[in-house]
Amino acid sequence: MRISDGAPGARILAFGGYQPARVVTNDEVGSMVDADDEWIRDRVGIVSRRIAAPDETVADLAVAAGGKALAGSGLAAADVDLVIAATCTPEVMIPNTAPTVARRLGIPAPGAYDLNAACAGFCYALAAASDAVRAGSARHVLVVGAEKLSQWVDWTDRSTCIIFADGAGAAVVGPATGTADPGIGPVAWGSAGEMADRIFISDRGSFIVQEGQAVFRWATTALHPVARLACERAGVDPAELAVIVPHQANLRIIGAIARGIGAPQATVANDIVTAGNTAAASIPLALSRLRERGEIPSGSLALLIGYGAGICFAAQVIRLP
Amino acid sequence: MAQTEQEILAGLGEIIDEVAGVPADQVTPDKTFVDDLDIDSLSMVEIAVAAQDKFGVQIPDDHLRNLKTVQDVIDYVRRPAVTA
């Protein structure tokens, strides 16, 4: 039996992001619960978020973001041979999202699967994509994080309705060949299954529930060592990072993680301010918007830290396309 | 080595200044976190975690919710350690 020839490394070719059209302000979402704009900004850091249209599906969001990433990569659709859709909010379990996304983007019959690692989904999917390219299982991978959390939210529950939102982000991953450096570092991942009951949806008819305080304590203490380990595994000193992109769960968690890493020179992504918490979409959406705004130069180093329900987490250093 | 009330108060003042932006000299034993110092429950968690690092004392969430004043925290830090 042979094994496949792969690539010495993988890199990201392009990002793409999509936010639904409808902007929902703090005043609007807070009016249904006992929360005003100031309270929401102070507690979670959000100023506004986007909510998908009632008939807008997770696949729609994924196609929108994925299409932009594909366009930005310079590749033809036929060059993509694997699509990974990271989502924990699909409308149905069967069929999965990725093959539909592939078909709608005109990608002819690639490998395709969905990946549920909640808000850590993009980092897990990126690791899987990098591994596939390096192992020779795929040449070019479209990785999408797409979520419609709004369809799982109780709009009378202040602890969740002010936080969760909808959106999608995507990356095209390809080989680092020739003299190109690897652009996706080794993943540092793990889980805390003893905290499985802290963020959950009980059954198909239920809402998302989160024990905010317990999650806050865990996230602000357990993650910065994982982040530093990802840097160490990549052979990158935190002082070399241009940007740190934690999952956009809550601005205070983001701040605490960044402080724990000790890279004061790095920009810390705060996309949550105008995006809300979009689970697996949050990291690629933040990256695509940072790049669109020209806030971080091509070729610079970014540290991604995904963490979410499960609890599961994954972090890696990447080089920006 | 056991710390004095003054030392703990000073340490707590530093933590609260850093976490919540409240000047350390405003952190006096009689003040309540919520009403006097305007510190919410998420900041209390950060304060508890920082206090753990500084004073070597665990303050789990279910104990934390009973600590209403600065003095409550000082007393908690100074209480005799529970032996196994």
pLDDT band at residue B2 using 50, 70 and 90 as cut-offs:
low
pLDDT number for residue A204: 84
Q: What is the pTM (predicted TM-score) of this model?
A: 0.94
Domains in chain A, ordered, with CATH? 9-176 (3.40.47.10), 188-319 (3.40.47.10)
**Domain count within chain B:** 1
Best of B40, B45, B52 to substitute, by most chain A Cβ atoms within 10 angstroms, is B45
Residue A181: what pLDDT?
83
Structure tokens at A300: 């610079």
Residue A280 burial by Cβ neighbours in a 10 Å radius (0-12, 13-18, 19+)? buried
Q: By C-alpha distance, which of B20, A195, B50, B68 is closest to B59?
A: B50
- What tokens were used for A5? 């020839």
What's the CATH code of the domain at B20? 1.10.1200.10
Does residue B10 form part of some domain?
Answer: yes
- What is the model's pLDDT at position B84? 46
Q: Do B45 and A216 touch (CB under 8 A)?
A: yes
Check CB contact under 8 Å for B61 and A42: no
Put simply, the answer to whether A213 touches B61 (Cβ < 8 Å) is yes
Does a structural domain hold residue B18? Answer: yes
- A216–B40 C-beta distance less than 8 A: no
Tell me what pLDDT residue A178 has. Answer: 72
Q: What are the pLDDT digits (tens) for B12-57?
A: 999 999 888 999 999 999 999 999 999 998 999 999 999 998 999 9
- Is position A224 annotated as part of the catalytic site? no
Predicted confidence pLDDT, tens digits, chain A (321 residues): 999 999 999 999 999 999 999 999 999 999 999 899 999 999 999 999 999 999 999 999 999 999 999 999 999 999 999 999 999 999 999 999 999 999 999 999 999 999 999 999 999 999 999 999 999 999 999 999 999 999 999 999 999 999 999 999 999 999 997 777 899 999 999 999 999 999 999 998 899 999 999 999 999 999 999 999 999 999 999 999 999 999 999 999 999 999 899 899 999 999 999 999 999 999 999 999 999 999 999 999 999 999 999 999 999 999 999
Question: Closest-CA residue in chain A for B19?
Answer: A256
Kindly report the nearest CA distance between residue A123 and chain B, in angstroms. 26
State which residue of chain B sits closest to A213, comparing Cα positions: B42
Q: What order do you get walking across the sheet with A141-148 strand by strand?
A: A9-18, A166-176, A141-148, A82-86, A111-115
SS3 A5: coil
B38 within a domain of the structure (yes/no):
yes
Of the candidates A42, A214, A256, the beta carbon closest to that of B46 is on A256
Q: Which one of A44, A218, A252, A257 makes the best mutation probe of the B interface by having the most chain B beta carbons within 10 Å?
A: A252
In angstroms, the separation between the Cα of residue A89 and the nearest Cα of chain B is 27
- A183: nearest Cα among A9, A5, A7: A9
In this structure, is residue B46 part of a structural domain?
yes
The verdict on whether A277 is a catalytic residue reads yes
How many residues belong to chain A?
321
Beta bridge partners of A313: A190, A307
Kindly determine whether residue A220 and residue B61, on different chains, have CB atoms separated by under 8 Å. Answer: no
In a domain, B39, yes or no: yes
Q: Beta-carbon neighbour count of residue A47 at 10 Å?
A: 14
Cα separation, B19 vs A310, in Å, equals 28
Indicate yes or no: CB of B40 within 8 angstroms of CB of A252.
Answer: no
Q: Quick one: tokens of A219?
A: 């996230």
Q: Are A287 and A242 in contact (CB under 8 A)?
A: no
**Which of B42, B53, B64, B65 is the best residue to mutate to test the A interface, defined by the most A CB atoms within 10 Å of its own CB?**
B42
Written as one letter, the residue type at A164 is F
Full domain range(s) for residue B66: 5-78
Taking contacts as CB-CB distances below 8 angstroms, the residues of chain A near B42 are 43, 212-213, 216, 250, 252
Catalytic site includes residue A270 = no
Dihedral, A229, A232, A234, A235 alpha carbons, nearest 10:
180
Beta strands A312-319 and A188-191, pairing class: antiparallel
Query: Does residue B83 lie in a domain region?
Result: no
Distance CA A26, CA A2 (A): 57
Give DSSP secondary structure letters for A217-286.
HHHHHHHHHHHHHHHHHHT--GGG-SEEEE--S-HHHHHHHHHHHT-TTSEE--GGGGT-B-GGGHHHHH
Compute chain B's Rg from CA coordinates.
12
Inter-chain CB proximity B42 and A212 less than 8 Å: yes
B41 CB neighbours in chain A (<8 A) are 213
Contact A11, A182 (CB under 8 A): yes
